[in-house]
């Protein structure tokens, strides 16, 4: 191994790369990690973390409104976008420093530069115009918001990267897309008082989630005042003389807004990375093709996280990195487990979900029992807010195995984390029934739905 400068060279200092570099260094390996932008990657700098902070910011107006029912009189509230952006920046800078320090503290070297492959053992450090060699190479370069060059006027649009640092809060925004990033930002901007329109080409927002949740969230967002146009697409974005934007939709409608945000998917960061020179194979979307151990077709080159386009979530990138360490450095081949990944959408109300949707389960199982309840959460009784909470368990009628658990409402993401354990453990509806409720909570409904709301037999719903 000493013939190389490093035992492991990691390209990309995001969720997956930082974890792999830190743990390999702690094992005593000679490790270097190159990051071209900011350590922490998408999650810390322009993804999960700042997004969640903005979600919190956007929830205060409803909290202020709801307070009245609890006896509070709240004075005039004012929002300062610049203060939020500055405070967010302070927090992500703190995290960025921790990420970098953790790698260095474990004995790894951090390099602030773009890195590209020269061949399967050689990496060019672009900022320093030098090359280094490594025995093993891990590519963890993540992804970025997909561009939309076919849209005339796309150069006037912003993506999730820019949205966090806008010079000023727009008065009106159009968000194009129906995935979780589009939906979350529609709720954030609406909560901050921005006139918000979500335009999505599909029939219903949030494909792949349970249809009940999708429809109920859609209706709730509309009731709050968010316009959702689907199916619809923008066909042209024109900059006006006053600096605002006219977005012309395929429906003929023209929307005048201050910003158009495109959130139409993610593209793996594989361009100009030297993959061809190293002989690493990509798929048609440009994602790196890996085997079940995250190894590419080149024996000593591995890839984890969003760049492999498996499940694009931070905990998954970290898990893949940990499995890579086991396989490459601990002589313990370990496959990442992508089954039953619990996830949240930080919409308002929030979604927490794990396992199969009803539609997906109906394709795979002959007999389903669906347990479903919809109710006003206790916190809304005095506030007067009409929003409903929705909970749903999808159960295999033959084995009683809980196949899917879906929640829409306050703290749904927190519930999904715990529901994830139950589904991963392969618990049955009987286990749920045997579990004592925690009272008074919303989550107690998950263990007190004793009778199926309806059955699904051979794909056909049977009520009563």
Ligand X SMILES: Cc1cc2nc3c(=O)[nH]c(=O)nc-3n(C[C@H](O)[C@H](O)[C@H](O)COP(=O)(O)OP(=O)(O)OC[C@H]3O[C@@H](n4cnc5c(N)ncnc54)[C@H](O)[C@@H]3O)c2cc1C
Q: Which residues are annotated as a binding site for NAD(+)?
A: 177-184, 265
Minimal distance, residue 218 CB to ligand X, in Å? 20
Q: Does 317 bind ligand X (CB under 6 A)?
A: yes
- Judged by CB under 6 A, the residue of 228, 313, 340, 341 near ligand X is 313
> Which segment (53-61, 72-80, 306-314, 438-446) binds ligand X by CB under 6 A?
306-314
Minimal distance, residue 142 CB to ligand X, in Å? 2
- Judged by CB under 6 A, the residue of 58, 122, 141, 259 near ligand X is 141
The interface mask with ligand X, positions 142-171, x = CB under 6 A, is x-----------------x-----------
> Which segment (207-215, 301-309, 361-369, 395-403) binds ligand X by CB under 6 A?
301-309
Residues annotated as catalytic are: 439
3-state secondary structure the chain: CCCCCEEEEEECCCHHHHHHHHHHHHCCCCEEEEECCCCCHHHHHHCHHHHHHHHHHHHHHHHHHHHHHHCCCCCCCCCCHHHHHHHHHHHHHHHHHHHHHHHHHCCCEEEECCEEEEECCEEEEHHHCEEEEEEEEEECCCEEECCCCCCCCHHHCECHHHHCCCCCCCCEEEEECCCHHHHHHHHHHHHCCCEEEEECCCCCCCCCCCHHHHHHHHHHHHHHCCEEECCCCEEEEEECCCCCEEEEECCCCEEEECEEEECCCEEECCCCCCHHHHCCCECCCCCECCCCCCECCCCCEEECHHHHCCCCCHHHHHHHHHHHHHHHHCCCCCCCCCCCCCEEECCCCCEEEEECCHHHHHHHCCEEEEEEEEECCCHHHHHCCCCCEEEEEEEECCCCEEEEEEEECCCHHHHHHHHHHHHHCCCEHHHHHHCCCCCCCCHHHHHCCCCCCEEEECCEEEEC
- Judged by CB under 6 A, the residue of 140, 183, 391, 446 near ligand X is 140
Whose Cβ is closer to ligand X: residue 64's or residue 159's? 159
Q: Does 12 bind ligand X (CB under 6 A)?
A: yes
Q: How many residues bind ligand X (CB under 6 A)?
A: 35
- Judged by CB under 6 A, the residue of 31, 32, 116, 405 near ligand X is 116
The interface mask with ligand X, positions 345-364, x = CB under 6 A, is --------------------
Minimal distance, residue 380 CB to ligand X, in Å? 25
Annotated binding site for FAD: 52, 306
- Chain residues binding ligand X by CB under 6 A are 11-17, 34-37, 41-43, 47-48, 51, 114-116, 140-142, 160, 181, 269, 273, 305-307, 312-315, 317
């Amino acid at each position: 191994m000493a013939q190389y400068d490093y035992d492991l060279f990691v390209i990309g200092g995001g969720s997956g790369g930082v974890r792999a570099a830190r743990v390999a260094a702690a094992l005593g390996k000679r490790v270097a990690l190159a990051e071209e932008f900011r350590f922490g990657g998408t999650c810390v700098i322009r993804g999960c973390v700042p997004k969640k902070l903005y979600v919190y910011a956007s929830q205060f107006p409803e909290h202020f409104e709801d307070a009245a029912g609890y006896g509070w009189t709240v004075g005039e509230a004012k929002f300062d976008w610049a203060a939020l952006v500055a405070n967010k920046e302070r927090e992500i800078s703190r995290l960025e420093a921790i990420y970098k320090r953790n790698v260095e503290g474990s004995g790894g070297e951090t390099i602030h530069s773009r890195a590209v492959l020269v061949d399967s053992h050689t990496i060019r450090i672009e900022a320093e115009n030098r090359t280094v060699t490594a025995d093993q190479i891990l590519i963890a370069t993540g992804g970025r918001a997909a561009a939309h060059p076919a849209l005339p006027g796309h150069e006037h649009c912003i993506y999730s990267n820019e949205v966090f640092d806008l010079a000023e809060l727009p008065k009106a925004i159009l968000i194009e897309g129906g995935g979780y990033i589009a939906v979350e930002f529609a709720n954030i901007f609406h909560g901050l008082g921005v006139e918000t329109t979500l335009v999505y080409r599909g029939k219903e927002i949030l494909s792949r989630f349970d249809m009940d949740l999708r429809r109920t969230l859609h209706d709730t967002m509309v009731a709050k005042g968010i316009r959702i146009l689907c199916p619809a697409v923008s066909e042209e974005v024109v900059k006006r003389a006053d600096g605002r934007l006219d977005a012309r939709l395929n429906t003929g409608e023209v929307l005048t807004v201050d910003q158009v945000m495109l959130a139409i998917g993610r593209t793996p960061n594989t361009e100009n990375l030297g993959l061809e020179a190293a002989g690493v194979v990509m798929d048609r979307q440009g994602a790196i093709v890996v085997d079940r151990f995250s190894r590419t077709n080149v024996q000593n080159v591995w890839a984890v996280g969003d760049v492999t386009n498996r499940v694009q979530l931070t905990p998954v990138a970290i898990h893949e990195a940990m499995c890579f360490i086991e396989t490459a450095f601990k002589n313990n081949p370990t496959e990442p487990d992508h089954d039953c990944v619990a996830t949240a959408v930080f919409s308002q109300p929030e979604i927490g979900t794990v396992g199969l949707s009803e539609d997906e389960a109906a394709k795979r199982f002959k007999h389903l029992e669906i347990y479903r309840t919809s109710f006003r959460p206790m916190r809304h009784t005095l506030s007067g807010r009409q929003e409903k909470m929705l909970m749903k368990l999808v159960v295999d009628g033959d084995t009683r195995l809980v196949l899917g658990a879906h929640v829409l409402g306050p703290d749904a993401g927190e519930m999904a984390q715990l529901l994830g354990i139950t589904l991963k453990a392969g618990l049955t509806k009987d286990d749920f029934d045997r579990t004592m409720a925690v009272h008074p909570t919303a989550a107690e409904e998950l263990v007190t739905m004793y009778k199926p709301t309806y059955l699904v037999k051979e794909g056909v719903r049977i009520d009563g």
